Copies of this chain bind each other. A is one copy, B any other.
Amino acid sequence: MTAGNGGGPTRNGGKATSCFACQTRERTEWCALSHDDLKLIDDSKGVREYLPGDVLYHQGAPCVGVFCVQSGLIGLRKVDHDGNSVLVRLAYPGDTVGYRSFLAGEEHHLSAEVLKPSMLCFIEQATARRMLETNPSLGLRFLKRMARDLDEAEDKFLESTNSDIRVRLAHLLFVLKDRFAIESGNGALTLELPLSRQDMAAMIGVRPETMSRTIRKFEDEGLAFFSGRTVRVPDMAALFAQIEVDS
């Protein structure tokens, strides 16, 4: 359950991708850095691959640095009062994971778990902080990012109180389709979600049983067909219409 498949992160010295060659750099907040600063990061960072199930850090643990997602997928979880671990958010390539606790200077409030095989860079707290203190535009990027996250979180709250589950599920699929569509054509498309039913249920704030039933309804109505973790949506527009119905 703790971090690791094999040895610790390797200092950048072998075949690990350099920040300069990183395909996802443009999508990260770190692209605000100058060549020299980026080099500092590049030299001191650790890179390695993680496998599904690996845990980057646990809720409550002190923050020792941040992870930059080069490829793969990370899930951020929070354990609620009855001990259930609920999936709160996903981190995609280009995202920096653990930046909240780092910026706030607090222990982690979430746990980070690898969901798909991922290549991650680890940047030590001290290094990151130095960058942040000398490079205002880096902080600005993170501010922008967090402002967006905060908005999303508030919308999610509103949605959870006003919309019924059909709408919430349709909405979830709609968001997920941008990242996990593996095939599409004239309105129809197929998704390959790296999420268990429980996780999907938690994301929209319902019990697994209810998720199951709602999925059933969608299938009965021909809106979406679930088989394991792949979802086939014959008509995206029809699914999207669900969101409008009950507004």
- Minimum C-beta distance from A98 to chain B (A): 11
Is A220 located at the chain interface by the 8 A CB criterion?
A: no
Is A148 located at the chain interface by the 8 A CB criterion?
A: yes
Is A36 located at the chain interface by the 8 A CB criterion?
A: no
Is A61 located at the chain interface by the 8 A CB criterion?
A: no
Name the one of B78, B143, B160 contacting A143, with C-beta atoms under 8 angstroms: B143
Instruction: Tell me how many residues of A have a C-beta within 8 Å of chain B.
Output: 41
Is A140 located at the chain interface by the 8 A CB criterion?
A: yes
User: Number of copies of this chain in the oligomer?
Assistant: 2
Given A106-B147, A160-B160, 19 more A-B residue pairs with CB atoms under 8 Å apart are: A80-B162, A82-B162, A82-B247, A88-B154, A100-B150, A100-B151, A104-B148, A109-B154, A133-B136, A133-B140, A135-B136, A146-B146, A146-B147, A146-B150, A153-B154, A153-B157, A157-B205, A160-B205, A161-B206
Binary interface encoding of chain A residues 82-111 relative to chain B, with 1 for a CB under 8 A from any of its CBs, else 0: 100010100000000000110111100100
Q: Which residue of B lies closest to A247 (CB)?
A: B81
- Minimum C-beta distance from A130 to chain B (A): 11
18 contacts between A and B (CB under 8 A): A80-B158, A81-B247, A82-B162, A82-B247, A100-B147, A100-B151, A103-B143, A104-B143, A132-B136, A134-B136, A136-B136, A136-B139, A139-B143, A146-B146, A146-B147, A153-B153, A153-B157, A161-B206
